Amino acid sequence: MKLLKHGPSPFVRKVVVTLHETGQIGDVEQIDVVASPMAPDPALTSANPVGKIPALIRENAPALYDSRVICRYLDAKAGANLYPEGRIWDTLTLEATADGILEAALLIIYEERFRSPENASMEWIEGQWGKVSRALDALETRWMSHLNGPLDMGQIAVGCALGYLDFRHDVRGWRTGHDALAQWYARFSERESMKATQPTA
Ligand SMILES: N[C@@H](CCC(=O)N[C@@H](CS)C(=O)NCC(=O)O)C(=O)O
């Protein structure tokens, strides 16, 4: 299998952490492609028509894309039970909450990267941060017992989301008012899979 990736993408990190946690890291070749909204790599768009990473190219089977699809596929392939049937809806909702944080956090970066300072909308940026902030509050108030339970995909996604906030939005200080979440993350980031996939510029 070949995993198309680019830079320190948190969505790719979800997949690579899953590969580590399910003992499949050696089964996948990681290939760098350009993932830019304006000029995506043809190698990427031929695997994923919407031009986003991660995409997983399989032998004799169609490519898979979207981190949620890829992670679920890898989990099924390894029989790792990262989507446990008994709490599947909670696990998927938690993963969606983490992905929602990532989408909003990434859109802020794109606004700053792809628009000139005079055209960037502070109101829009703060609207995106509002999504992150509400999701962090929900994690702190509703999800701590799930986060402290057996490893599943919701936890991996939250770990990658918080890692991305540290990496790109450190100045916002997400830990303030989220003590339980911060403590959980300090422990979670000690996992070998998280240490092996730290984002770097
Ligand atoms: N829902 C997708 C989001 C993937 C995504 O937004 N990836 C970013 C990089 S972190 C990307 O490829 N951006 C290029 C673009 O938006 O055209 C997933 O979970 O895989």
Structure tokens at 14: 């979800």
For strands 29-32 and 2-5, give the pairing.
Answer: parallel
Q: What is the pLDDT of residue 201?
A: 85
Q: What's the chain's average pLDDT?
A: 97
Q: Model confidence over 80-104: pLDDT tens digits? A: 999 999 999 999 999 999 999 999 9
Structure tokens at 73: 């596929």
Residue nearest to atom 1 of ligand 1 (CA): 66
Q: Are 87 and 95 in contact (CB under 8 A)?
A: no
The structure's pTM equals: 0.98
Q: How far away, in angstroms, is 53 Cα from ligand 1 center?
A: 5
Confidence of residue 79 (pLDDT cuts 50, 70, 90): very high
What's the 3-state SS for 9-56?
CHHHHHHHHHHHHCCCHHHCEEEECCCCCCCCCHHHHHHCCCCCCCEE
| CB distance 164 to ligand 1 below 6 Å | no
Q: Model confidence over 3-60: pLDDT tens digits? A: 999 999 999 999 999 999 999 999 999 999 999 999 999 999 999 999 999 999 999 9
Q: What is the pLDDT of residue 184?
A: 98
Q: How far away, in angstroms, is 33 Cα from ligand 1 center?
A: 12
In eight-state DSSP terms, residue 87 is G
Q: Are 43 and 4 in contact (CB under 8 A)?
A: yes
DSSP E strands in the chain: the ranges are: 2-5, 29-32, 55-58, 61-65
Q: What is the mean pLDDT of residues 118-124?
A: 95
